[in-house]
Structure 1
Amino acid sequence: MKHYIIGTAGHVDHGKSALIRALTGVETDRLPEEKERGISIDIGFARFPLPSGRRAAVIDVPGHEKFVRNMLAGITGIDLVILVVAADEGVMPQTREHLDILRLLEISKGLVAITKIDLVDEEMVELVEADVAEAVAGTFLEGAPVCRVSSVTGEGLDHLLRTVDALLEETEPKDTTAFARLPIDRAFVRPGFGTVVTGTLVGGVIRQGDRMELLPLGIEVRVRGLQVHGEPVEQAQAGQRVAVNLAGIERSDVRRGHVLCAPGALRPTRSFAGRLHLLESWPKELKHGERVHLHTGTSEVLARVLLLEGDALKPGGTAYVQLKLEEPVVVGRGDRYIIRSYSPVHTVGGGMVIEPHAQYRRSQAKAAIAELQAKESGGTGGVIAETLLRAGMTPLGLGELAKRTGVTVETVRTELPGLGADVRELEGGLWIHRRGFGQFCDAVRAELETFYGRYPLRSGLGKEELRRKLGLGGKEFAALLAAAEAAGELSVNRDRVALPGRAPALNGAQAKLAERLRAAIAGAGFSPLTVAELKQQVPGADTEEVIIYLIEQGEAVRVGDDLVIAAPVLEEAVRRTREHLKARGRLTVAEFRDLLGTSRKYALPLLEWMDEQRITRRAGEERVAGPNG
């Protein structure tokens, strides 16, 4: 089932609430002050029945200039707007400001309702229609249907309903396959239920029992119950007005501007970048660093506009900007925003979010603008590729890519194969840009060259040491290493990373040290010497490095903390151990000591080494054969 949200707009006292009451039977002015003053102060909602049976809701917004901030919170997520103009007054200041806001938010569907026709004659209605036509010229409402109505007599109401119905037939509903996202416009406590939040579900589906994330607080909550227009439902979908009963949060922690969304789908930001259009009607330049009121979704925060080029933006101009926010907000790529002057407060301009988490510098404006242009024009695939490129040599999973790009995991999964050679898939569902992969290979080679310069006899650098030097996570590093080895860029041998084909070679003096060390290690037999003891027996500037060389070449093995045993001697110890276990099934430390003709001092570390290799396995105070025994 498709669901739609209809919004109203227009000057104060032009009959928006009366029109909704006449169409739906619902009084949207719920506050005592609204009823006392006879004007809308906050947003109101009602089910909007249509002749075709389509499911729609209508949002009534305040028209008074003092409450434009509330109007902006209510207009979020609408599919179609009814611009209301009273026949006895015509186009007024807030008519024009609301129209500007609708243009900046890129609302694309709507109609004009000329209300209160029962108060004026035909000539006056025609004059108002001409006034409206002039005001909407060049906007999305140019050429839109104009409906004459009276909320008192009912004249024209059926025609208006049929017109709305026909426009919605041509309107794409919101995406129910996207991640669930509900900008909150109200929060209250319902006795017996607890915290309830309401809003327009702009994407996805929310089900009873779902785990959700409340942002920017980052708190996990559970959906205890759902209502749509006062009726309990098992699930709500994009395009519906929803009340959500939440478990795990106090009412005092929630306010308008917070966002309820699928866990991990979005993250708060204090700085985003995008394109800004300054209204032609704004009378002065917008200066770099100017403080403004920022509206996006249902949130309002103070921000500074940082122009990426130039020191001022002229009226009617468009520029790439970075918005530095005084409080965190939740935005995704493609979200619309409005800025209003700091004081007095008037609508200045608005635009679209391109990079939700921007950290650009004016000194690098050229590169920043080029990146924003690529993201803006490259489509979803281009944004994904650009996000991977910015991640450098850190691979990203589908979930993180979705979070950073502001699209669904399914969309990311669909788009990635189409990026071809620009990206590559790694083990564990990770993805990296080809440049990032090249950056990783270059960084590893540089580390290895430095390492070989200091230790020319060593075969390679330890995996863990290399990972720490590169600052990568374990999963990401392992996936990159596997891909680099498969591509022939690196060689991996057990816990060492090396350059392919590199074989360390001993010089003349080192070769003589190696011969003497081989003899000393072999001569120690089952009572191996420590590195310090070997250095005493075979002194030399490179003795320790030659010992490591012999170990890495497989001629010797390090056991325990610091013992070095000849590989053939260790193989003999393993052979005797296996034969003993095959014959007797069990082996004590004392038996092992006697088996090798050595002391407990050496028997114990040798036996523990066999445990590590799974040749033996502890069974109480004894050993039995291990998986490799």
Structure 2
Amino acid sequence: MSHFIIGTAGHIDHGKTALVKALTDIDTDRLKEEKERGITIDLGFAYWKDGITIIDVPGHERFIRNMVAGVSAIDYVLLVIAADDGIMPQTIEHLEILKLLHISSGAVVITKIDQADELHLRNLEIEIKNLISDSLLRSAPFFRVSSVQKTGIDELKGHLQNAAQQKIPKFDRGFFRMNIDRSFLVKGFGTILTGTVLSGTARNGQWIELLPARKTVRIRGLQKHSQPVEEVMIGDRAAINVSGIDNEPTKRGNVLAEPGHLISTNSFFGKWYLLKSVKKTIEKQIRVRLHMGTAELFCKVHIVGESIQPGKSGYIRVVSEDPLVCIRGDRFIVREINSSMTLGGGIVLDHLHPEITPELPYLRLMENESLPTVIREFIIYHKIVSVTEIISVFGLSNSIIRNELNKLEKLNQIVTIGEQALDVNYFSILQKQLVNAVEKFHQERPTEKGLKISELRMKLAAAMQGDVFDLVLKTTVRKGALTEEKEIVYLSSYRIQINTNERELIEEIESKLAQTPFSPPSVEVIETETKLPASELQRILRIMVQLELIVKTDKNLYFHRDAVRQARQFIIDFIGEKGHIKITDFKDRFHTSRKFALSLLEYFDAIQVTSRNGDHRELLHP
């Protein structure tokens, strides 16, 4: 069974640590300063029985950051309120934080009941019920205890053990992820990192990634509930001994994860709820402390759209001074820069390309709870995204994401190309861009049959690259809009445009080549006889090649197409009968010189009709 993690919440000196000790016989105040001052400063951990852990969080306002780190991954909360003091400022602030983090399971524990009479306790319970009436704890059970006299402790123990048995399994994202809440060195072992496993499984010997540094480390040892184990899984309180970070403890707020799933960023878009208790409207931007997972960050919050009024929510872009690690759905707490007050909290929506501010409708759509819907909207907005980018934003395993993409593709809503996904409408836009580029080429160079595919790829590199270009081209050709031929592409409906003068020159040159089909005049001879400038002749010859009237066999020789067809058929028939052909066989048949025979034979080698083998040629593909 995975761990059941309980966290305390409440004002300073309301007996949280004493309550944990009464329940577990463990004193969670481990720091010297905590002992001397009698208050909890950092997180305390008490490993109870049957996989139950209690995290004791500090109540003082100066240590709210530690409180948030402690409750960010708990299953159950004990809202602790002392009978003598009643509801105090940190009682209210802690409750607000629990609301903002959507912690819905818990109990209210009234401590120090030996210091209050029955009437006082009844009135206090009424006050507390009013306080929690608009929170997710409004139906929470109440317990009265005295940690000194042990009154009510057994009843609370029984309730917590029962709650642990009824724990609802958390959604597993399919890969290992753990926010680090403690880090320390143990002599002879090295670095120990602890936290609550948020998803997946980690095993001894496994390589994992430390983020945001993106450093790969190896698991040397694992513990849960203070016992050595071979693996830890979602919901466990884990201590992980790692190698690979030079025996230097990493800081709270870093993340351990299975490589290839998470990335670091300095910015994200989210939704922020501003508490009613805040007395000012947030107009444009504000510097804040942001708490997410176990991390505390100094950030600037920029309002996206309209200002946010107290008690209302709005959309924001968060820019952190330091790298952070987050996924869609992660919750965060926002406090004043001087840590004096909690301003509100929110949820991460998207962190891909945070430099580009999206439209509000997109951010609203990213709040949708339907995973297929949100992934599709994400792809529509970003147009082309890699599977790795989708994984890093949604925080889901490769198999889960690919399964969702397959569903969307079957519904004809997206197109997947290798490791990339495109919105189907955007794919159509890319096809139009491809056709338009070829059409423009025809307008600018009407006497050329088509555009080189390599040149077209370069022209459209900003819009599509690699596999995307290849599939868009292939699809457009398959639909019949374009024709691909050898290394060029052209509009299927296009015909080379030639004027009267060009037509006359073509007919003249074609006639010259047809007169001596297997001993054609060289380019220099044609140039002399037609009195054309070299560049103009080359242009006309290119047109004739594209019209398939002539064939260029080498730098200075062109053959009439009828000669090439006749030569090809002879070679196929001759080899079919004799098994191979020599240059002399070709020369004798067409009464031509070695020069012309060799030029044609090498041309057929180049187009893989034949293959040279010593002094003869054999048939490859007739």
Structure 2-normalised TM-score? 0.86
Counterpart residue identity of residue 23, structure 2 = L
1:572-603 Cα distance to aligned partner (Å, 9 max, x none): 3897599689979899x999999984459x96
Aligned with 1:410 (options 396, 399, 409): 399
1:503 CA displacement: 3.0
Structure 2 equivalent of residue 376 of structure 1 = 367
Is 1:551 matched with 2:545?
Answer: yes
Structure 2 equivalent of residue 468 of structure 1 = 458
Structure of higher CA gyration radius: 2
1:7 CA displacement: 1.6
Is 1:19 matched with 2:41?
Answer: no
Q: 1:570 to 1:307 in 2, by over 3 A?
A: same
SS in 2 for 1:128: helix
Q: 1:141 to 1:449 in 2, by over 3 A?
A: same
Counterpart residue identity of residue 208, structure 2 = M
Is 1:238 matched with 2:229?
Answer: no
Q: 1:554 to 1:12 in 2, by over 3 A?
A: farther
Structure 2 equivalent of residue 342 of structure 1 = 337
1:126-165 mapped onto 2 (5 Å cutoff): 126-165=122-161
Counterpart residue identity of residue 499, structure 1 = L
Separation (CA, whole Å) in 2 of partners of 1:102 and 1:15: 19
1:215-294 mapped onto 2 (5 Å cutoff): 215-252=211-248, 254-294=250-290
Say if 1:184 and 1:298, in contact at 8 Å, map to a contact too.
yes
1:208-261 Cα distance to aligned partner (Å, 9 max, x none): 333333222233333333222332322211111122233333354832222222
SS in 2 for 1:99: helix
Say if 1:578 and 1:625, in contact at 8 Å, map to a contact too.
no
Instruction: Report the more deviating stretch, 439-448 or 203-212.
Output: 203-212
Structure 2 equivalent of residue 329 of structure 1 = 324
1:197-596 mapped onto 2 (5 Å cutoff): 197-252=193-248, 254-310=250-306, 312-343=307-338, 345-357=340-352, 359=354, 368-377=359-368, 379-392=370-383, 394=384, 396-416=385-405, 417=407, 421=411, 423-426=413-416, 428=418, 430-471=420-461, 472-518=464-510, 539=532, 543-557=537-551, 572=567
Where does the alignment leave 5 or more consecutive residues of structure 2 unmatched?
A: none
Say if 2:376 and 2:408, in contact at 8 Å, map to a contact too.
no
Q: 1:129 to 1:453 in 2, by over 3 A?
A: same
Separation (CA, whole Å) in 2 of partners of 1:517 and 1:64: 96
1:535-592 Cα distance to aligned partner (Å, 9 max, x none): 67753676444433433444545566787565566663897599689979899x9999
1:278 CA displacement: 0.6
Separation (CA, whole Å) in 2 of partners of 1:126 and 1:103: 25
Instruction: Report the more deviating stretch, 435-444 or 16-25.
Output: 16-25
Instruction: Report the more deviating stretch, 315-324 or 333-342.
Output: 315-324
Counterpart residue identity of residue 388, structure 1 = I
Separation (CA, whole Å) in 2 of partners of 1:225 and 1:591: 79
Instruction: Report % sequence identity.
Output: 35
SS in 1 for 2:263: coil
Structure 2 equivalent of residue 74 of structure 1 = 70
1:296 CA displacement: 1.1
Counterpart residue identity of residue 434, structure 1 = V
Say if 2:408 and 2:414, in contact at 8 Å, map to a contact too.
no
1:520 CA displacement: 6.0
1:160-206 Cα distance to aligned partner (Å, 9 max, x none): 23323444555432223532211222233333333332221111222
1:521 CA displacement: 6.2
Q: 1:358 to 1:74 in 2, by over 3 A?
A: farther
Counterpart residue identity of residue 351, structure 1 = G
1:417-470 Cα distance to aligned partner (Å, 9 max, x none): 257656233453653212111110111122112111111133332222222222
1:46 CA displacement: 3.0
1:404 CA displacement: 3.6
Separation (CA, whole Å) in 1 of partners of 2:240 and 2:607: 55
Where does the alignment leave 5 or more consecutive residues of structure 1 unmatched?
A: none
Q: 1:465 to 1:4 in 2, by over 3 A?
A: farther
1:268 CA displacement: 1.9
1:121 CA displacement: 3.6
Say if 2:176 and 2:199, in contact at 8 Å, map to a contact too.
yes
1:328-376 Cα distance to aligned partner (Å, 9 max, x none): 21111111111111135321111111122354767xxxx6111111221
SS in 2 for 1:206: strand
Is 1:45 matched with 2:34?
Answer: no
Q: 1:13 to 1:580 in 2, by over 3 A?
A: same
Q: 1:422 to 1:580 in 2, by over 3 A?
A: closer
Q: 1:284 to 1:515 in 2, by over 3 A?
A: same
RMSD: 3.7
Q: 1:626 to 1:419 in 2, by over 3 A?
A: closer
Instruction: Report the more deviating stretch, 300-309 or 416-425.
Output: 416-425
Separation (CA, whole Å) in 1 of partners of 2:213 and 2:588: 66
1:100 CA displacement: 0.9
Say if 1:458 and 1:545, in contact at 8 Å, map to a contact too.
no
SS in 2 for 1:174: coil
Separation (CA, whole Å) in 1 of partners of 2:295 and 2:9: 19
Q: 1:114 to 1:554 in 2, by over 3 A?
A: farther
Counterpart residue identity of residue 38, structure 2 = G
Instruction: Report the more deviating stretch, 401-410 or 230-239.
Output: 401-410
Q: 1:240 to 1:584 in 2, by over 3 A?
A: same
Counterpart residue identity of residue 297, structure 2 = V
Q: 1:483 to 1:21 in 2, by over 3 A?
A: farther
SS in 1 for 2:198: coil
Aligned with 2:184 (options 177, 188, 204): 188
1:314 CA displacement: 2.1
Q: 1:459 to 1:140 in 2, by over 3 A?
A: same
Separation (CA, whole Å) in 2 of partners of 1:143 and 1:505: 81
Structure 2 equivalent of residue 616 of structure 1 = 611
Counterpart residue identity of residue 257, structure 1 = G
Counterpart residue identity of residue 397, structure 2 = T
Q: 1:167 to 1:554 in 2, by over 3 A?
A: farther
Is 1:6 matched with 2:6?
Answer: yes
Say if 1:526 and 1:598, in contact at 8 Å, map to a contact too.
no
Is 1:174 matched with 2:170?
Answer: yes
Q: 1:24 to 1:575 in 2, by over 3 A?
A: farther
Aligned with 2:90 (options 88, 94, 115): 94
Separation (CA, whole Å) in 2 of partners of 1:608 and 1:198: 71
Say if 1:560 and 1:609, in contact at 8 Å, map to a contact too.
no
1:60 CA displacement: 1.9
In the comparison of the two structures, how many residue pairs are matched?
614
Structure 2 equivalent of residue 59 of structure 1 = 55
Q: 1:128 to 1:617 in 2, by over 3 A?
A: farther
Separation (CA, whole Å) in 2 of partners of 1:593 and 1:426: 55
Counterpart residue identity of residue 317, structure 1 = K
SS in 1 for 2:367: helix
Say if 1:322 and 1:360, in contact at 8 Å, map to a contact too.
no
Counterpart residue identity of residue 480, structure 1 = V
Q: 1:257 to 1:288 in 2, by over 3 A?
A: same
